[in-house]
Structure 1
Amino acid sequence: MCEKVIPYIKENNLIKSGDKVLVALSGGPDSICLLNILFELKEELNIEIAAAHLNHLLRGEDAFEDEKYVINICNEMGIKCFVRRVDINLYAKEHKLSSEMAGRNVRYDFFDEIIQDEGFNKVATAHNANDQAETILFRLMRGTGLEGLGGIKASRDNKIIRPILCLSREEVEKYIKLKKLSPRIDKTNFEKIYNRNKIRLDLLPYMKENFNQDIIQTINRMSMLLQKDNEFLEKLSLDLYNKYCKKYEDYLIIKKGIFKEEEPIVNRVLRHALTEYSKLNYDFEMKHIYKIIYLAKNNSGKVVDLPNGIYVENIYGNIYIKNKIEKCYIDSKTEEITLDKNNIDKNKIKFYNFNVEFFVIKNCEINDVHLNQSNLIRYFDLDEINNNILIRNRRNGDKIIPLGMNGSKKLKDIFIDMKIPKEERDTTPILCFDEKIAWIIGIRTSEQYKITNKTKNILKVVIERKEY
């Protein structure tokens, strides 16, 4: 088995010399096989190994016997063993998750803590070739795309590795018998109340007997081919994501141009945008992607709720991904910062995700100022300001005399004309001098405080918008 595993590890670049590998150890045949193979190879690979066991508290006394067994095995091998107990049913109820998803979340949170605290850089899980075949058939029956049919990858995020994915369950059992190991057996694996168990116990044996003796290897070969095709499409979609999507502190924008691309690529870009914003990979399905595509074809202002407390909104054809909590917070919040004109030079403040900095330029001529160098830099006649300088968000009835005009115009109408999204309107800084609006920052300046040939002292205002 080791002779088969070593080439697989090297071909897929799973382990490098000096790696510290944490083995996810349930105590079952697969994980015990993985632990022993890596233990045999640790000198050759020049790695350090340890084990992590999560007691889900789901199987009564058997769960505690598994825990004892794992601890004893690790003690005998002289390796560290990290153990945690979590009531998965209670966790699932509190977080409104399925038991399977709750177990996964808790398990990987546990691994991440150990990695951070103990300096490990790889987590090895014991998925084998039969797991691969079962996973692909399970996804096929639920409905999946190319990525789902690619199945389990040999590695993920350069952190999660599957060194024995190349071994069949028959080979794992042969290794266990050869090494005279005595793994724990989870009796629930033989209960046909679970669909995955039905695939393992009924469907795959039937396919093997009636259609293809080599069905496990055949499905695994297919998964490798599809993974390569999927990697190509992922690279293409990532390039388009960078072109059409932009993430800010509180939201992510998907520009409407993406919806002119081919649908398979659009689907991938949208999925990447959702996971990039929410930092969760497993709670979004194709029905959510289709909702966004449908939303993009409808009128501006429409909203669709999605999992993980986020929603998407069509704003003038662009799609905004936002957080419900942040929406309520911003809509109800008012912000106001007052500054002293006499102490304004080199003053710097923060307003939402904007940094606003002021500079006083004395005895400056208009020809020395680059008026149009940036829409985030503006110059005002300092001598026209009597007292206060104020930065705030918008108020009902706000008006401004736009540069080049004689009459005033409502901010609301300017926002609509400029197609500024509704929530951006609430957090757009409004710069006021003596209670009069001088600049809707980044959008429109006032006629009242413009610099002229008669201007002696200038107030320069520089804006930096923090993007994420």
Structure 2
Amino acid sequence: MEVIFIDNLIENRFMEEVKNNHLFDGHSKILIALSGGIDSQTLFNLLYKFRKELNLEIGVAHVNHKVRAESDDEENILRHRMSEIDVPFYCDYFTGEFTESKARDFRYKFFQKVMEENNYTCLVTAHHSDDVVETVFMRQLRGSRLRYLTGIKQRQTFANGELIRPLLNFKKSDFDTKDYFDDYTNYKNEYLRNRIRNLYIPELEKENPAFKKSILSLSKEVDAAMDIINNSIKNLNFEKDKIDLEKFLNQDRSLQYFILQDYLDNYKDISIGRDQFDQLLHIIRKSGQFNQRINKNYSLIKDDKNFYLASDSLPESKIEYEVSRIKPQNLDYKEIYIPKDANFFVRGREVGDRILLNGINKKVKRYFIDQKIPLKMRENAQMLVVEGQIYEILGIATSDLSKSLKNAKMNDTLYYFER
């Protein structure tokens, strides 16, 4: 299945990109993520054509999301094509409620499994510069911090090897492959990324024809700025599990902000919103010692010399819950609905806590009394807090705020269950 492009320019540019950046040096067996759309089909055609010149053994991984009537036919066509040219074809099937984030998590877990079980050292995906623009713009809309406006990296560590994106300096309009599947769901504007691609960016390009180029330039500038910031933090030689308080306070206040961000990023199971982050930074800057639980697993502790996060040990009598965006398997769980991409954390009771129930913003203390909740359960009650409001008293009550989002298009589902 040799593919000849109408214009060989893309082939020449591709090989220059690969060779100049030494993208596949050290790799001999690579796995290509192939959906069958124009992006991934172009990537496959290029790598298949130049596989011998690059001394690469290739395999293909495909996920059938089962969301379109054509999905099975497309899988079978790809499977047949790969069989004809003796390229290994790995396929898995997405199940459950479809969301973009869940589907993405499923795909990359599948890719990792295939790599590890079949000794591939590199996953190759077809992300291009338009994807970078969409990603950066989407993060801006959501109010992401500076460090998340750096776009998409061309290569990064993944599974037992690397994730490489060789088309990152190409535009989608560069691709002239003909043997691809056109996914009509890409034109449905119920998803934010599709609205950005199909509606927002075209309108903004009317105001500024160089809008995409401007976003890419911004992303590169942020990337350069973050390199300087990260190197400054690295040169301070903080310990990974705690921060020297005197050294921290001696830094410029702007750098303190990024030092704390960098430290908290080591704890992937902690989700902290802007307000809580600013509160923690304020506490660290104040004089005096401090010990405060910030979610159900961790407390922030500040003594005379350091500040650090410590894992909390819960009382034996307390039911331990785990809250996750990933649906558990073979476990009883309850669903909570929260705004799309909202930050959340779990904490114990606090004086003045209120929860919206049946249209009434009720004090948690009064609710416990009215419902005759046992004293021990009251003491151990855990609150799921989303953007400063209680969405769930775990195992006890669900707020109207969560119930109202059950059928909303722009929401996330959390799952919690007893550990």
Tell me which interval the TM-score lies in, with the shorter structure as reference length: 0.5 to 0.7
Residue identity matched to 1:312:
L
If you compute each CA radius of gyration, which structure gives the higher value, 1 or 2? 1
The SS at the match of 2:307 is strand
The SS at the match of 2:289 is coil
Q: Contact 2:32/2:124 (CA < 8 Å) preserved in 1?
A: yes
Is 1:23 aligned to residue 29 of structure 2?
Answer: no
The SS at the match of 2:107 is helix
* Structure-2 separation of matches of 1:66 and 1:77: 17
Residue identity matched to 1:253:
K
Shift of 1:44: 1.8
What fraction of aligned residue pairs are identical, expressed as a percent? 23
The within-5 A match list for 1:1-400 is 1-16=10-25, 18-57=27-66, 59-89=67-97, 99-157=99-157, 159-172=162-175, 175-176=176-177, 180-181=178-179, 183-212=180-209, 214-240=210-236, 243-246=237-240, 252-257=241-246, 258-278=248-268, 286-287=274-275, 289-297=277-285, 299-306=288-295, 309-316=297-304, 318-324=306-312, 327-328=313-314
Relative to its length, the structure with more helix (as a share) is 1
Shift of 1:72: 2.5
What is the root-mean-square deviation in Å for CA atoms of aligned residues?
2.9
Gaps of 5+ in 2: 1-9, 319-419
Shift of 1:11: 3.9
Shift of 1:131: 1.0
Shift of 1:311: 4.1
Q: Contact 1:150/1:227 (CA < 8 Å) preserved in 2?
A: yes
Shift of 1:105: 2.7
* Structure-1 separation of matches of 2:149 and 2:13: 24
* Structure-2 separation of matches of 1:245 and 1:200: 42
Shift of 1:301: 3.7
Shift of 1:321: 1.7
The SS at the match of 1:313 is strand
* Structure-2 separation of matches of 1:285 and 1:13: 39
* Structure-2 separation of matches of 1:137 and 1:109: 26
Shift of 1:227: 1.9
Shift of 1:261: 1.8
The SS at the match of 2:170 is coil
Shift of 1:139: 1.5
Q: Contact 1:12/1:154 (CA < 8 Å) preserved in 2?
A: no
Q: Per the alignment, do residues 228 and 70 of structure 1 end up closer, same or farther by CA in structure 2, a change over 3 Å counting?
A: farther
Shift of 1:151: 0.9
* Structure-1 separation of matches of 2:275 and 2:58: 42
* Structure-2 separation of matches of 1:268 and 1:256: 15
Q: TM-score, normalised by structure 1?
A: 0.58
* Structure-1 separation of matches of 2:133 and 2:15: 22
Shift of 1:127: 0.9
The SS at the match of 1:49 is strand
Q: Per the alignment, do residues 208 and 117 of structure 1 end up closer, same or farther by CA in structure 2, a change over 3 Å counting?
A: same
Q: Contact 2:150/2:223 (CA < 8 Å) preserved in 1?
A: yes
The SS at the match of 2:97 is helix
What does the per-residue CA deviation read over 1:366-411, in whole Å, with 9 as the maximum and x for residues that have no partner?
xxxxxxxxxxxxxxxxxxxxxxxxxxxxxxxxxxxxxxxxxxxxxx
What does the per-residue CA deviation read over 1:323-359, in whole Å, with 9 as the maximum and x for residues that have no partner?
34xx237999xxxxxxxxxxxxxxxxxxxxxxxxxxx
Residue identity matched to 1:79:
V
Tell me the residue number matched to 2:362. none
Q: Per the alignment, do residues 319 and 67 of structure 1 end up closer, same or farther by CA in structure 2, a change over 3 Å counting?
A: farther
Q: Contact 1:291/1:304 (CA < 8 Å) preserved in 2?
A: no
Shift of 1:284: 5.4
